[in-house]
Amino acid sequence: MHTPPRVLTVAGSDSGGGAGIQADLKTTLALGTHGMSVLTAVTAQNSLGVQGAWDLPAEAVRAQFRSVVDDIGVQAVKTGMLSSAELVETVAGLLAGLRVPVVVDPVGVSKHGDPLLAADALDAVRTALLPTATVATPNLDEVAQLTGVRVEDEAGMRRAAAAILDFGPRWALIKGGHLPAGAADSAVDLLTDGTEEHWLRAPRHDNRHTHGTGCTLASALAAQLAKGDTVPQAAAAAKDYVTGAIAAGFRLGAGIGPVHHGWRLRDGH
C-alpha cells in the first residue's frame, strides 16, 4: 500500500474550522498528503473574530512533536500561530534538528485584526524561528511587524523580501493580498531567494470568503514540498490551489467566511 508524503503542522486551533490546524489538515488532505498536527494554542473564534486564546504549555508542544517525528516521520513541516516567545523558541529548537523543508508562516494578526503574537515574541521569531525556514510566508502586515518595512506597491515587495531574507530563511514569499486598492491589478505575491525572482499573479476575487488564506497557502506549499517539488514549483501550485479555494469560498456566520479547501474534490480534480 502506498504511504502518502507526511506533513506536520505546528499551529493553533480555529474553532470555526477556517484557519489554523483545521485549515492545514484540510489542505494537506486535499493535496494528497497525510497531515499531522502539533497543537500550540486553542482559540475561540468564528466568522466575526477571535473571542479568546489559550496557549498550551511548551512541554505539551514538545511532547506532541517528538511523538510524531520519532515514530511516523515527516517530509515537510509548516508552522503557524506561536503566540509567545517561549513557544517560538521551543519550536525553533525542535526544527533545528530536522532535515526537511520548513515553511514558516509568521502569524501576527488574524484576518479580523486580532493580535495572535505577543510583542515580546517578535525578537524570537526574527532570531530563532526565521533562520530555520526553507520558506517564510509573511503578509504585508507581518512584514511591517517584523521589519518595519511598509509596502505600498509592488516595488516595495522587493524591499520587504530583502528585509525578511536578512533574518535567515532561504526563500521569502511576500504575500501582496493587502496591497492598497489600485496598487496592483491582480493578487500578486513575490517569491525570491535574493537572486531568483518569481512573481505569482492570479485574479482578485471580490468576495468575503478569505478566512484562512494565509494558513492554507503555507500548508499547501508544505504539502507540495513534501511531494518533492522545488520551492518555485511548490509556490506556484500553492498559489493556484488557494486562488481556487477563495473563488469557491462560502458564507458561514455573519462575518468573513472561509475558503473552500475541498474545491478540487467538488470540481472533480
Based on its alpha-carbon atoms, the radius of gyration of the chain, rounded to whole angstroms, reads: 17
212 is catalytic: yes
State yes or no: is 175 an active-site residue.
yes
Catalytic-role residue among 26, 78, 111, 175? 175
Q: Identify which of 125, 135, 19, 13 has the alpha carbon closest to the alpha carbon of residue 64.
A: 13
Annotated active-site residue 168? The verdict is no
Is residue 215 annotated as part of the catalytic site, yes or no?
yes
Is 177 designated active site?
Answer: no
- Catalytic residue (choose from 9, 90, 213, 243): 213
Give catalytic status of residue 213 as yes or no.
yes
Candidate list 17, 176, 214, 257, residue with the active-site label: 214
Cα–Cα distance measured from residue 3 to residue 5, given in angstroms and rounded to the nearest whole number = 7
Is the separation of the CB atoms in 91 and 61 below 8 Å? yes
Strand order in the sheet with 197-202: 49-55, 34-46, 6-14, 76-79, 102-104, 135-136, 171-175, 187-192, 197-202
Q: DSSP alpha helices (H): ranges in 148-204?
A: 154-165
Among 210, 243, 244, 249, the one annotated catalytic: 210
Take residue 55 and report the three cell numbers written for it.
496557549
The rounded distance, in Å, linking the Cα atoms of 41 and 1 is 35
Catalytic pick among 108, 177, 212, 249? 212
Q: Which residues are catalytic?
A: 175, 210, 212-215
